[in-house]
Amino acid sequence: MSWFVKTIWSTSVGRKLVMALTGLFLCTFLAVHLAGNLQLLKQDEGYAFNKYAVFMTSNPLIKTTSYLLYASIIGHAVWGIVLTIKNKKARPQGYAYQNESVSSVWASRNMGILGTILLVFIVAHMGDFWREYHEYGTSTPMETKTYIDEKGETVVYKDLYHEVVETYENIWMVLFYVASMVAVGFHLCHGFKSGFQTLGVNHPKYLPVINSVAFIFWGIIPAGFALIPLYIYFNHI
């Protein structure tokens, strides 16, 4: 496999392919994650959401995919930072005056900064809910809640719902979350289309489709994420 390792390790286009594949994979994850989070809006004391959390952490297919996901986040972030630093070095002396905004959009020039904001968010976010749910390094186990399921049987789930609601009763957490979703929006405003361009998918026949789907990813999905903590906050004050 040496040609393969060489390709993704030491060629610029190969490194970009890693960015595109991991980035687009993370996009599919965003869609699945939002579908789950929308369960928070149900008025069922967290039954649907807590059940979803059990599914996400026990289904073998999802568990396997989650390792791919962790690898993708790390790979994408590390390569993203490496590429950004390498690209900075390609112009050691800058211009005294450069008018960049006429030829490119802001988001496309700031993927490194936007990505770094996302990295901070992902680490904080996982340190919160993911770590507590898996009880990695927590002193007390997560509280549980008992529900009667659709078949009338008694089920006991870890009460992640309660954790989430408690967190987003704090306005600062809400603001941090919403700001991060704005960053996701900008990152994908350029990133989604860019990923396809990197993979060589650019053709007048399917570009319009990519552009429409891109709007779902940079507009609708981040807005959907951001609405949930706002909803919780305004419902619980």
One of 107, 111, 164, 226 touching ligand HEM (CB under 6 A):
111
Residue 210 contacts ligand HEM per CB under 6 A: no
Amino acid present at 172: W
- Nearest CB to ligand HEM, comparing residues 22 and 50: 22
Site for ligand HEM in 123-182 (CB under 6 A): none
Q: Are 214 and 188 in contact (CB under 8 A)?
A: yes
CA–centroid distance for 21 within its chain = 14
Q: Report the C-alpha gap between 23 and 79 in whole angstroms.
A: 11
Strands (E), 180-224: none
Q: Contact at 8 Å (CB) between 195 and 5?
A: no
User: Strand, helix or coil at 31?
Assistant: helix
The correct pick among 76, 164, 181, 233 for binding ligand HEM (CB under 6 A) is 76
Question: Which burial class, exposed, middle or buried, applies to 189 when counting CB atoms under 10 A from its CB (0-12, 13-18, 19+)?
Answer: buried
Distance (Å, whole) CA 24 – CA 31: 11
Phi, psi of 58 (to 5 degrees): -125, -30
Residue 127 contacts residue 137 (beta carbons within 8 Å): no
Answer for the pair 19, 76: CB distance below 8 angstroms, yes or no.
Answer: yes
Instruction: Pick one of another protein, ligand HEM, none as the site partner of residue 80 (Cβ within 5 to 8 A by kind).
Output: ligand HEM
From the list 169, 122, 170, 161, the residue with the least C-alpha distance to 142 is 161
Residue 4 burial class via C-beta count within 10 angstroms: exposed 0-12, middle 13-18, buried 19 and up = exposed
Q: Does 235 bind another protein (CB under 8 A)?
A: no
Nearer to ligand HEM, 157 or 218 (CB): 218
Contact string (CB under 8 A) for another protein, positions 4-43, x = contact: x--x--xxxxxxxx--------------------------
Site for another protein in 186-215 (CB under 8 A): 190, 193-194, 197-203
Choosing among another protein, ligand HEM, none, which partner's interface includes residue 67 (Cβ < 5 to 8 Å by kind)?
none
Residues 103-132 that bind another protein (CB under 8 A): 103-105, 108-109, 111
User: Based on CB atoms, which residue is closest to ligand HEM, 46 or 191?
Assistant: 191
Which one among 46, 80, 185, 222 touches ligand HEM, defined by CB under 6 A?
80
The answer to the question of residue 19 lying near ligand HEM (CB under 6 A) is yes
- The gap between the terminal CA atoms of the chain, to the nearest Å, is 57
Residues binding ligand HEM (CB under 6 A): 16, 19-20, 23-24, 26-27, 30, 76-77, 80-81, 83-84, 111-112, 115-116, 118-119, 122, 184, 187, 191-192, 194-195, 198
The site for another protein (CB under 8 A) is made up of 2-4, 7, 10-17, 83, 86-87, 89-100, 102-105, 108-109, 111, 190, 193-194, 197-203
